[in-house]
Structures are given as structure tokens and as C-alpha cells.
Structure 1
Amino acid sequence: MRKVIILTLAASAVTLSGCGLGKRKSLDEFAVARNAPLVIPPDYSLTPPVAGTVTLSPEGAQSQAIEALFGGPAPRSAIESSMLDSAGRDRAALGARSIAGDNETRIVDKGATTQAIIAAPQGDGQDASAQTPQ
């Protein structure tokens, strides 16, 4: 019986010592390491504006920012240049994307079903059908 009481007291002491009966200070996670001061790297080519000078146009500022971020245009590889030459990059019309939706642009006739889909009124899709209207 005496051994049981001693073992019970020992187990209680070990258990309670893990709870931290004494008042401890909590650790301050910000005191563990000092923060280094903020430093701006010296290699930026963008300069702050000077009072009394003319500002850049939005296009100039954008191109200057892109140049600072990405550098100049990357050289194309031989394979990419060969593919562009085969596709006819020298024969492409300037502004081709702007004239693609023009009414004078020639298109290929895809049939009555495609025309019916394009001409269909906008709706919620409840009455959608793949049938050509008669």
C-alpha cells in the first residue's frame, strides 16, 4: 500500500511540474532576432521626379518601367525566327487585329447552323437548341 501511495505522489509531481505551476514570462517572438533596416538597392534606373521639370508622357514612363523590369527585347532563337519567317511575318499587315472585325473582312462560310447560332438572341440558355430554325 505504501508503494502505491509513493508512486501516486511521484506521478502527480511529474504531471504537475509539466503544467508550470510557477509564473513564467512568455517569450517575445520579436525579441529573438533584430530586423535589418530596409535598404533600396542602388541599381534602379528609375529616378524620382525633380520639382519644376517636365514629367514623362505615360507612354515614356511605361516603356522606362518595362525596360527597368525586363531589360531590352530578348533575341529570338533560330527556330523561332525560322518559324516566323515560314509564317510570313514580313507579309503581315500592320494593325491586322484592328481590321479583323471589320465588315469588309472576308470570312469563310461555315453554314446555316453557325449563322443561326451567331444570330440567336441573347438569353439565359433555358431555351437553347442546336436545331436550325425553319
Structure 2
Amino acid sequence: MDGRMTLRLLMIAGLALALSACGGFREQLGMNKQSPDEFRVVSRAPLTLPPDYSLRPPEPGAPRPQVGTSAQQAERAVFANSQTPAQQQTAVPRTAGEQALLTAAGAEQADPNIRLIVDRETKRINAESERFVDALVFWDAQPPAGSIVDPVAETRRLQENAALGQSPTTGPTPQIERRRRAPLEGLF
């Protein structure tokens, strides 16, 4: 019965291994649907209203003025400066309606250290979830490494010392040496 069970487990493991290799078969045949990445299709500057309408009409085939040269595009990509100076927005004063809305929402009393508070709370929540996951994954508690007295051998030693009329402290105390177990030891 034990040999049959082992054979079944080996067959199931082999079948699982064989089926796991079939994942790329559709891709190799070109049957997978591959949609384009919407963020990499075309790089165009956003449409904006001109500051005044006294602009000259665009020339066909001329490069767009918002795009810039390839060196400027590379500089924006490397230094993460995605807006040209003309596109950078200046601070606009709030209207009376916006100010009333912010006051009603309590935005004026917002804590300036809110990011520090949120980070602290997030770290605490993450630490609690890590402890929970560790309790699930490492459910078998490790006994502390070290040595303890072997009770059976110690009882035998004490009885022998008493029968021979010797002191109970005569002879070495038998000990059990504990070692740290491997993570998967005892599962198989």
C-alpha cells in the first residue's frame, strides 16, 4: 500500500510538472492576444488654448514647438522634468468659492506633519501583518537551541550513585544537545 501511494504521488507531481510547462505553448504559436500599451503608443504634448490668438498658422511638416528637440526630450526623460518652462503652471490665487469650500472642509486646520503620521501608522500596520503572516507560515515554533538535562539518563545515574553509596554529584550530568531545525525539517 505504501509503494502504491508513493507511485501515485510521483505521478501527480510528474503530471503537475508536465502541465506547468504548457504555459508558453499558446504564446509560441502566436495565439495570445497582445494589446498595445496605451502609455507607449504615441508621445504627444497635450492640447492647450493659446495665450492669445495672434499666432501664425502651423507649417505642414514642421516639428511641433511643444515637443522640442530630441536632446530636450532625452533630458526630460532622464531628469524627470516632463514639463517645459512654457507648460509649467504658476500659482493662481484661490477664488472666494474655493476658499469657502476649503474652510468648510477644514483644510486650514490640516496637520502639516500628516505624511509622518501616515508613514508611522503604515509601518505599524505592516509590522502587525508581518507577524500574522509569520505565524501562518512558521506555525511550528522552534525550541530554543542549547542543552537540557536528559531526565531518563539522569534518573539512572542518580539511582546508580545511590546504590553504590556515592554522592549525587558524582559523575557528569547527562544532557540533550538541541540544534536548530531546518525550515522544512519534519514536513517530509
**TM-score (normalised: structure 2):** 0.22
Larger helix share, 1 or 2: 2
Larger strand share, 1 or 2: 2
**TM-score (normalised: structure 1):** 0.28
